[in-house]
Every structure is written in structure tokens, then in C-alpha cells.
Amino acid sequence: MDRNKKIYIAGHKGMAGSAIWRKLSGVGYTNLLGRTSGELNLRDSLAVNRFFEEESPEVVILAAAKVGGIWANNEFPYEFLMHNLQIQNNVIDAAHSYGVKKFIFLGSSCIYPKHSPQPIKEEYLLTGELEPTNQWYALAKIAGIKACQALRRQYQKDFVCLMPTNLYGPGDNFDLQTSHVLPAMIRKFQEAKNQDHAPVKLWGTGSPRREFMHVDDLASAVLFSLEHKLEESIYNVGTGKDLRIAELAALIQQITGHQGEIIWDHSNPDGTPRKLLDVQKLKNKGWQAEIDLEEGIKQIYKWYQESVG
């Protein structure tokens, strides 16, 4: 791909979007375009269309979304459904209307059924019921995937959907009510350590298995997708490895230096029993994740101490 092409990264200030921006600028892409939510409200269709008319991006990467953990999804189902639908519909339709040549849509592994066979293949989409705690977000993302697939089928558009596993990295959300499990654990263990190694209470039983990928690996997958022709409409992006939540807690406890007790609160839900992506399809094309989980957590813990904690 010509590295002078105008590339619009929607959500360029978020964790995923900023990692993609760093990756592309780091390898020589010189014409990157971004707007903050204050500068461009992606839920406003008129504003989005005006932006596309004025800027005429040739490539669009949609990394903008309303995201959060189990608590946030449970508490704000309407916003997680409607806001994400509005963002996606406006950006996808404008990209189609204004002749965008290549479009990369970032989804989520939560699009797959709660009880999918493991590891989860792309073709398991819409083969069973969703996990109830995040179905609103998942439904919105599924709608985005189907819109991209429809454009590929009807107009032969080069619109590709990447489904990342659970992400972590610089710029993550450490708010205990709205964050995902890994950054929430880092904050909880660090704060408990600062309080004379007080006990740490964690949700559920610790038995579910989860896969975690550093956001810089997602950025490298986006770069790969930009620079290669991908024949399929949807690709999983992950490490192909998972661990129990209890193992994750023990690893973060060790990295942070917390020496107190871990208490598992069984009154709160575990969520999906296991969620491991089958990443063979993109691996066969020549891409795979590279950042080791322990090393990645050490990096984000250092970032947290310097930037947040």
C-alpha cells in the first residue's frame, strides 16, 4: 500500500486506535487522519458525512466504540447497543457513499455464542445464544460485520472485519466499574498492596478461561490487513493461548508484589466459561501475535504506575 494514502483512524485516541496510529506512523505512513469525539461526533450522521466529503479518506479503520466490562454492559444495555450501532452505521455508510477503497472494522470476540466449541472459529458466528451480560454490545458488532459483508457481496468492496480477543495495553481503562478484568486486577492488587497488602476481592470463581492480547499485537494485525489482500470477510485476531482467571490473578499478584489474600466473590457472575479464538485463518495468511502475556503485563503495570497509579 502507498504510505502516503490518506487513512482515517476513527477512535484514534482510544487504546486500540492510538496503538494503530503508533504502528502505522512508526512504519512510515505519513497521511493519518484523526478526530476526537469533541471534534467529530460519530453518532451524528450529518457531521460524519460532512467530514467524509471534506477529507475524502481513501482508507478507514473503525476503532471507535463504546466499550466496557461486565458491570458496564449490564448497567447500560441501551447505550452499548444504540451508541455502537449509530457509530458503525454512520461510518460504514459514509465510507461506502464516498468511495473509500479499503475499510477495516474492529469487532470483538464476544460476538460468538456463549457455548461455542473451543477454540472458536469464524464460522461459529450466529450459531447459538450470546453471553447475556454483553449481548447488547455483541449485537451491535454483529450488525457491523453483516453490513461489511453485505457491501463485499453487493458492491465488491474491500471491507474486512477483524475480531480481536480481550485486549490490554497502554491507554487502558482502569476504572473499577467500567474496565475489563485485566486492568481492573492491576488496579485492585496495586491499591491493596499500598494498603499494607489488604485482601483483594475478585468476581466469580476464577474458573473461566480467557485469552489476552497486547494491543500492539492488534495494531500489527491491522497493519498486516492493510498491506495484504484478504479474501475472507472476517478474521479472528488473538494469541491462540488462554488461562484461567485464577491463574491471571496469581500472575498479576506476583507482578505487582501484592502479598495478601485473594477472595473470590461467588455471588457475581463468571460470564462465558471459556473464550479462546481459533486464529489459524489469519496465521495461514502470515500473521501471528508476538508479545508474551507475562512480559506484556509487566509493561502495562509499569505504564500504570507511571501514568495512572
Q: Tell me the Cα Rg of the chain.
A: 19
> What are the beta bridge partners of residue 103?
60, 159
266 is in an annotated binding site: no
Bridge partner residues of 60 (DSSP)? 8, 103
Residue 164 annotated as lining a ligand binding site: yes
Distance CA 62, CA 256 (A): 34
Residues 137, 168, 301, 304: which is the catalytic one? 137
Residues 6+ apart with CB under 8 A from 258: 189, 190, 192, 193, 197, 200
The answer to the question of whether 180 is labelled as a binding residue is yes
Residue 206 burial class via C-beta count within 10 angstroms: exposed 0-12, middle 13-18, buried 19 and up? middle
User: Is 98 tagged catalytic?
Assistant: no
Measured CA angle at 183 (ends 181, 188), to 5 deg: 90
For residue 198, say whether it is annotated as part of any ligand binding site: no
**Binding site annotation covers 210?**
yes
Q: Is 14 annotated as contributing to ligand binding? A: yes
Binding-site residues for substrate, in ranges, read 188, 203, 210, 270
The residues annotated as belonging to the active site are: 137
Binding-site residues for NADP(+), in ranges, read 11-17, 106-109, 141, 164-167, 180
